[in-house]
Structure 1
Amino acid sequence: MDILIEQEIELHQYEIRQSLSDIERLIHPSFSEVGISGDSYDFASIIELMKSEEPSEVRIHSQNYECVQLEPSVQLLKYESVIVTPSGETSDYAKRCSIWAFNGSRWQLKFHQGTPCPMFELV
């Protein structure tokens, strides 16, 4: 589903991560995450984490999206991500999955997990 990919990519953007209204639009209040670090987060802790972020020139490259319908209003979005510096150096390769739920008016992120993985070719 294109909207889920678009919203996932929005969450990779510093400006979106700094906007409480965008976070509340995109992330469900009962959100939980197991990060690439192994740390766990809930809605309140992810807001605090995002608020503490500093602007950076690195970007998140994501690719190979696959959407799996779990229920008509619940979708599993799987993809790969990597951090890319302005000079093209890469780090933090990960396989990621997000569970998005439709709340009657919009899709919101309910769960996210990042798992470190070996390097992959960027497409």
Structure 2
Amino acid sequence: MLLEKLTSLECTLHGAKRNDRKWLEQILHPEFTEITRSGLRVNRQETIDSLTAEEGAPAILSSDFRLISIRDDFAILHYRTIHPEGTRASLRTSCWEYSDSRHWRLVFHQGTPEAGSLE
């Protein structure tokens, strides 16, 4: 059940809600940080500003989801992404925390190019 829930939340960030400021402010933990696929460290506000300004982002196909449940209120999600044309394969990790407001919130995310992936 938890794997399906976090997979669903993660995939909202790959689709239409990716540009929804209100949704991003709800789902991203106040202390959210990310290490981008290109190796940059960004904070919550930088992420929200970047995603809401994004236009015509390519589709992201996600697969191979695996969950590590650390505690009842904290989990790590590992998965793979690729663009539909077969480029930019990445290995991704997201850390999720169940908040006092009874919602899962994304605390940390990292994307790393998969070895041998096409850019």
Report the 3-state secondary structure (helix = DSSP H, G, I; strand = E; otherwise coil) of the residue aligned with 2:115: coil
Q: Secondary structure at 1:91's aligned position in 2? A: coil
Q: Alignment partner for residue 99 of structure 1, among 85, 90, 95? A: 95
Give the corresponding residue for 1:72: 72
Count of residues in correspondence between the two structures:
114
Report whether the alignment pairs 1:112 with 2:113: no
Distance 2:67 2:36 in 1: 20
Q: Distance in 2 between matches of 1:80 and 1:93?
A: 7
Moved beyond 2 Å, runs of 4+? none
Distance 1:63 1:75 in 2: 18
Return the letter of the residue paired with 2:97.
Answer: A
Aligned to 2:34: 33
Task: Please give the alpha-carbon distance, in whole angstroms, between the structure 1 residues aligned to 2:113 and 2:48.
Answer: 23
Partner of 2:44: 43
User: Which residue number in structure 2 is paired with residue 8 of structure 1?
Assistant: 10
Structure 1 SS opposite 2:54:
coil
Higher strand share: 1
* Contact 2:25–2:48 (Cα < 8 Å) also in 1: no
* Structure 1 unaligned regions, length at least 5: none
Give the Cα separation in 2 of the matches to 1:25 and 1:69. 22
Amino acid aligned to 1:2: E
Structure 2 gaps of 5+ residues are none
Q: CA RMSD in A?
A: 1.4
